Amino acid sequence: MSRCSKIHRSRWTLCSATAETFRWALENENRICLCSFMSAQFDDLPDEVRTEVQAFADVNIAWLKKMLVAAKVASPREAEKRARAIYSGIVDAQLMARSRADIALYDSLIESYRTAGLLPA
pLDDT in tens, 37-69: 788 888 999 999 999 999 999 999 999 999 889
Whether residue 121 is contained in a domain is answered as no
Report the predicted TM-score, pTM, of the whole model to 2 decimal places: 0.83
Distance (Å, rounded) from C-alpha 50 to C-alpha 48?
5
In a domain, 103, yes or no: yes
The reply to whether 72 falls in a domain is yes
The mean pLDDT of the chain is 85
Determine if residue 45 is left, alpha or beta; phi over 0 gives left, psi from -120 to 50 gives alpha, anything else beta.
beta
Q: At what angle do helices 47-70 and 3-27 cross, to 10 degrees?
A: 150
Q: How many domains does the chain have?
A: 1
For residue 102, what are the domain limits? 3-116
CATH number of the structural domain spanning residue 79: 1.10.357.10
